[in-house]
Amino acid sequence: SQTIHQWPATLVQPVGSPLSLECTVEGTSNPNLYWYRQAAGRGLQLLFYSVGIGQISSEVPQNLSASRPQDRQFILSSKKLLLSDSGFYLCAWRRTGGIYEQYFGPGTRLTVT
């Protein structure tokens, strides 16, 4: 069976500090991968998605970047965090091709102080 991991679960970082959130998927190959952000009481905003290694598409211009160094690893980064980067970050995956559902990780709660 497939499993998706995200870490850390919670993070408190000062403004201007760097960020690295990691997501890994087990039990599947060549998944589509996604990073979402969810503000309190709001829906999900798609930040980045990847359909293959090294292929990253950005949905929203912002202070963040993403990388996919391995088939089942997706990393969200920032060189300098802003207060507005606070939120709940969710990683998700789906099977490639066709109509499929997405599977989400447990999320990372980021607070920028």
Between 34 and 85, whose beta carbon lies closer to other proteins?
Answer: 34
Q: Which two tokens stand for residue 93?
A: 């995956």
- Kindly state the smallest distance separating residue 79's Cβ from other proteins, in Å: 26
In this structure, the dihedral spanned by the alpha carbons of residues 107, 87, 67 and 25, taken in order and rounded to 10 degrees, is 10
Distances (CA, A) of 72 to 11, 46, 92, 93, 111: 23, 19, 11, 9, 26
Residue 99: CB minimum distance to other proteins, A: 5
Toward other proteins, which CB reaches closer, 14 or 97?
97
Q: How far is the CB of 32 from other proteins (least distance, A)?
A: 5
Cβ nearer to other proteins, comparing 15 with 60: 60
Rounded to whole angstroms, the Cα distance separating 20 from 99 reads: 31
Minimum distance of other proteins from residue 25's CB (angstroms) = 13
C-beta separation of 67 from 79 below 8 A: no
Residue number with CB closer to other proteins (8 or 80)? 8
Which residues of this protein are in contact with other proteins, per CB under 8 A? 6, 32, 42-44, 46, 49, 51, 88, 90, 92, 94, 96-107, 109
- Cα(50)–Cα(48) distance, rounded to whole angstroms? 7
